[in-house]
Amino acid sequence: MRGHERSDNDLSGTVEGPAIQAGTVHGGIHIRSVVEPADEPGTSPWQLPPSIRIVDRAAEVGTLERHRTRARLEGRPALAVVSGLGGVGKTAVALSWLHSLRPHFPGGQLYADLRAQAPGGPVDPAEVVGRFLRALGVPDPQVPGGFAEQLALYRSLTANRRLVVMLDDAATAAQVRPLLPAGQCVTVVTSRRRLPGLTVDGGQVIHLEPLAPEAAVELLDSTLADGRVAAQPEEARALVELCAGLPLAVRIAGARLAARPRHGITTMVRALAAEHDRLEALAIEGDHDVQAALDLSYRGLPDSAARLYRLLGLHPGREFGGPVGDAVLGEDASEPLDVLYDANLLIDAGQAAGNERYRFHDLVRLHAITQANRDDSPEERDAALRRIGWYYLASATRAEGIIDPQHRTMARSYGPGPSVVADFGDGPDAALDWLELELPNLMAVLRQARSAGVPELAWQLADAMWPLFLRRKFYAEWREAHREGLLGAQETDDEAAVCRMLTSGGLGELDMGRPGPALEMFEQAAELFRRSGDALGHARTLNYRGLAHQRLGEPDLAAGFFGRAAAELLDCGDHRAAGLARFNLADVAVSRGRYEAAVPDADAAHTALREAGDTYNTARALALTGRAHLGLGRLDRAEEVLLAALETLRSMAADHEAARALGSLAQVSERRGQPELAGERYRKALVLYSEAGQSDSAEAREAGDRLRALDPEPGPDGGGSDGPAADPAG
């Protein structure tokens, strides 16, 4: 009986609290309350599995302890959620912390494996509540039949009891909520999913990342405990890097080595080196298995997320933006991406260019590829790779059009259906930043294009990256992209594309200070144009060859080529390319100190390029005119045109050209006897040279020397050079 009820055997008054009604009583009477059991260690459940050693988790444990302290001071239960990738050590961290709390919680420890990815589905909370009631001392006959009554009794039993509860491998917040105790208890939930819903219940969410290399080596050493790590430190580091810091993988590798005490660590490094065998090697038969741990997470995915997971594993770069998911699926992938992120199968790599970015843990990527090879046909895998490539090409082409609308783009193909294109804004700075951000991915796609059966993608991507190479000088990528692009163009027998790769690749060699190889490439293109009867293409190569001779220290030869180019290009109707040839004639004259002769060619180039709508090269021609006037001592006119050129160049994010204009403006200030203004301009120029990656150029060194002559403590050193007055289109 409960409440204020009168017993027939006791007429003295009201019974407070629990009461028992009985007839005849024989022997001693033993009464035990199931609502307020004794909080005694000897009668409390101690269900937590044994703790294992953890490393490099002091920050996470500290966060858990601070959360517990706050909850105690506020008089409420403490709830924490530890999430992360399978095998990252969630259970180990939770157990380590909860075991340390045993002196503070004599009411006991309850543990339940909620089996989020079990083949038969997650454990029913009603089953767990029943087990918890029995563990807390409720005999089977007294366990209520209805779930609601069981919950009421569970909360009553835990309201005044100091105990900890661990709910391992939870599937959802809804599965967890009925199992949360009352009173000032501590509950830790572990899950492969992030379970943000539990923050509504006051939960502290802690996400575990893989171990740093030093901590992973420490874990390997504690697993082996035989001195091999100290004896072979480089091999140990190589091993944990192949395990990508995943504690489960490190422990398995260590356990396999421990079973072979005569083997060096190099043995396991060799076993893991081959990517396609790595997951199989990270297994102990009948026991721990990295692949099995990842399989559990994968099996819990809905079909669309599972397909996206598999096909994203094929992405050739390490990191990617959300729109890649749209390209892979051919539809909006925001929901499947959220599912993969919540399942800790994708890592948040931050936000850039207006899009969320993601990456795979290395072992997860291998698992995704394994699933793709198993579940998707070769045709579907190839199609996914091509869709990824077309996404990058379409997006790079859009960026190219924003940065350099005058760049004569050859025909490009983006595959069947509508193209997915990145949205990175409309300004040239944003477009350049996107190209630079995605450069590793663009190069990875380009390298795979020929083997993926789309060799034309190689040269088209190289061509689309031209504005980035021209302005931000990624020389190694410039050279590699055009070499690979040239092979792709040759594979498709596209002579126009071959010539484009030779000329734009040659301009890269020229910019890298290799005029000899550049001249060879230009002459190859000239011969191809000559054989095919392409007079316009051949005329354009005259300009390129003149640039090479100029850099080879042959100004007379260079001027001859530029003069021929200007005339023949006009005859062919290419006024823009003719304007570039006049620009180069003026540049030769300025370099030889023939400033008076340079002015008319520079003015003619400026007019032709402005009429052609080439904003970038128009500004460069204006800056060249300014340098000619500077040489003639016409300081007012020089400053006027240089400032106008600088404004345009800065708006186009042309850092190295803007730096040259600033350097010339600084010289104007020097000649006027304005050392402070000159120093300010030199410092700004050096910053731009540095940002353009041209700190070691001759012009940057000259600016630094001039600044030091004005100011003994100059700003950051840097450099840049005026790029060739040409592009692959003329």
pLDDT of residue 19: 43
Q: 67 phi and psi, to 5 degrees? A: -65, -40
For residue 268, tell me if it sits in a domain.
yes
pLDDT of residue 2: 37
> For residue 393, what are the contacts with CB-CB under 8 A and spacing of at least 6?
412, 414, 457, 460, 461, 464
Residue 528: name the closest of 559, 503, 491 by CA: 503
Predicted confidence (pLDDT) per residue in 502-534, tens digit: 999 999 999 999 999 999 999 999 999 999 999
Q: Give kind and range of the element (H or E) at residue 82.
A: strand 78-83
Residue 623: name the closest of 609, 653, 643 by CA: 643
pLDDT of residue 286: 64
Same domain, 185 and 163: yes
Better-scored residue on pLDDT, 16 or 341: 341
pLDDT of residue 542: 98
Same domain, 669 and 593: yes
Same domain, 281 and 203: no
Task: Residue 180: give its domain's CATH number.
Answer: 3.40.50.300
Same domain, 664 and 697: yes
CA distances (Å), 491 to each of 456, 497, 503, 533, in order? Answer: 8, 11, 18, 22
Same domain, 330 and 475: yes
The model scores a pTM over 0.85: no
- Asked if residue 176 has pLDDT above 90, the reply is yes
Same domain, 703 and 636: yes
For residue 700, tell me if it sits in a domain.
yes
* Contact present, 395 and 322 (Cβ < 8 Å): no
Share in percent of the chain as helix, strand, coil (round to 5):
60, 5, 35
240-263: average pLDDT:
92
Tokens at 462, concatenated = 């190289």
Same domain, 594 and 705: yes
| 508 C-beta neighbours (distance < 10 Å), count | 29
Collapse the DSSP code of 135 into the 3-class scheme (helix H, G, I; strand E, B; otherwise coil) and give the result. Answer: helix
Same domain, 437 and 477: yes
Residue 364: name the closest of 382, 347, 381 by CA: 347
Q: Which residue, of 493, 510, 528, is where some domain finishes?
A: 493
Point out the least confidently predicted range of 67-81, 134-148, 201-215, 704-718. 704-718
Better-scored residue on pLDDT, 26 or 251: 251
Tokens at 91, concatenated = 């259970």
> For residue 447, what are the contacts with CB-CB under 8 A and spacing of at least 6?
316, 484
- Asked if residue 127 has pLDDT above 60, the reply is yes
- Structural domain including 440 reads 319-349+376-493
Most confidently predicted of 292-296, 470-474, 484-488: 484-488
176-196: average pLDDT:
94
For residue 676, tell me if it sits in a domain.
yes
pLDDT band at residue 234 using 50, 70 and 90 as cut-offs: very high
Same domain, 76 and 203: yes
For residue 520, tell me if it sits in a domain.
no
For residue 535, tell me if it sits in a domain.
no
Average pLDDT value for the chain: 89
480-500: average pLDDT:
97
pLDDT of residue 153: 95
Q: Is the dihedral of CA 99, 104, 106, 107 positive or negative?
A: negative
Amino acid identity at 88: V
Same domain, 616 and 643: yes
- Asked if residue 355 has pLDDT above 50, the reply is yes
Same domain, 151 and 104: yes
- Asked if residue 283 has pLDDT above 60, the reply is yes
pLDDT of residue 201: 87
578-583: average pLDDT:
97
Same domain, 265 and 333: no
pLDDT of residue 411: 87
Residue 344: name the closest of 173, 192, 170 by CA: 192
pLDDT of residue 717: 43
407-433: average pLDDT:
87
pLDDT band at residue 10 using 50, 70 and 90 as cut-offs: very low
pLDDT of residue 7: 36
- Asked if residue 446 has pLDDT above 90, the reply is yes
Predicted confidence (pLDDT) per residue in 60-73, tens digit: 999 999 999 999 99
Tokens at 356, concatenated = 């969320």
- Asked if residue 427 has pLDDT above 90, the reply is no
Better-scored residue on pLDDT, 44 or 595: 595
For residue 53, tell me if it sits in a domain.
yes
pLDDT of residue 713: 55
Tokens at 589, concatenated = 């004259």
Predicted confidence (pLDDT) per residue in 391-413, tens digit: 999 999 999 999 988 777 788 98
Kindly state the percentage of the chain with pLDDT values over 90: 76
Residue 422: name the closest of 308, 312, 321, 315 by CA: 321
- Asked if residue 719 has pLDDT above 70, the reply is no
218-241: average pLDDT:
94
The packing angle between helices 575-591 and 555-571, to 10°, is 160
Predicted confidence (pLDDT) per residue in 286-319, tens digit: 666 898 889 989 988 999 999 999 999 999 998 9
Q: Give kind and range of the element (H or E) at residue 165.
A: strand 164-168
For residue 297, tell me if it sits in a domain.
no
DSSP code per residue over 202-256:
T-EEEEPPPPPHHHHHHHHHHHH-SSHHHH-HHHHHHHHHHTTT-HHHHHHHHHH
Q: How many distinct structural domains can be found in the chain?
A: 5
Predicted confidence (pLDDT) per residue in 602-654, tens digit: 999 999 999 999 999 999 999 999 999 999 999 999 999 999 999 999 998 88
**Residue at token pair 């050693």:** 53
CA distances (Å), 481 to each of 409, 437, 445, 461, 725, in order? Answer: 17, 16, 10, 8, 21
For residue 555, tell me if it sits in a domain.
no
Q: Which residue, of 493, 510, 533, is where some domain finishes?
A: 493
Q: Which residue, of 462, 493, 524, is where some domain finishes?
A: 493
pLDDT of residue 281: 84
d(CA 150, CA 127): 10
pLDDT of residue 406: 73
